[in-house]
Structure 1
Amino acid sequence: MFKRIFWVGVGVAIGIMAVTKAQAYVKANTPDAARQFLLGPDQHNVPMRTLEGLVNEFNATRRAREAELNNKYNVQAD
């Protein structure tokens, strides 16, 4: 079990490093117009915006699923 946790952690760390290096490469080697198209006008906060978007999407999906389950089990309880 600990081996799996270790290797998952190593995989996550490698993934984070790869994404960071890829973003640095894009920022360094693309013209400004292409960079703005890829990363948006606020290029310094891309990771935070991405994380915020993921959290918002997760919460919306969670709320929808919770409402679905509440409707399903409240109808059955009546």
Structure 2
Amino acid sequence: VEHVKAERNLLAEVDSNCIVKLYCSFQDEENLYLIMEYLPGGDLMTLLMRKDILTEDEARFYIGETVLAIESIHKHNYIH
């Protein structure tokens, strides 16, 4: 549960085009709810399951985007 709260805190703090936006969060006795930006294309795992294998250009693009995302969270002293 603590790792989910840490991710929530990161999402609330970081403002980057490479990181999904967190609009708000709340919890009840049993669950923590995160209201996040809708991503119509899904996440990278969904893409990999659908395509199975990425082309070299696609892999280069997604690796570059991942590096930019990690760089943006490092600026806030988070390590992934």
TM-based fold match above 0.5: no
- TM (norm. structure 2) is 0.28
- The structure where helix makes up a greater share of residues is 1
Q: Which has the larger radius of gyration?
A: 1
Higher relative contact order (CA 8 A, sep 6+): 2
